[in-house]
Amino acid sequence: MVGPIISELANDYDGKIVVGKCDVEENDEVAAQFGVRNIPTILFFKGGELVDKFVGATSKDVLDEKFKALL
């Protein structure tokens, strides 16, 4: 549900923000490291530091605002 929105935003912000996806079922150590307990969970990093986390489904507008805040 959120995947297509993230893909759209990745295209919109290409060259400005790096977007990656992680399958937490195949990478449970990453999920444990960042405390991911629910899917979807979106982690926001800036300068290599975790600066924000969003859990649950949401709209493109909400995520777009989160992306803008990172710039």
Average pLDDT over every residue of 38-66: 93
The predicted-structure confidence for 4-51, as pLDDT tens digits, reads as follows 999 999 999 999 999 999 999 999 999 999 999 999 999 999 999 999
Res. 1: pLDDT tops 90: no
C-alpha 22/C-alpha 68 separation (Å) is 22
Residue 62 banded pLDDT, cuts 50, 70, 90:
very high
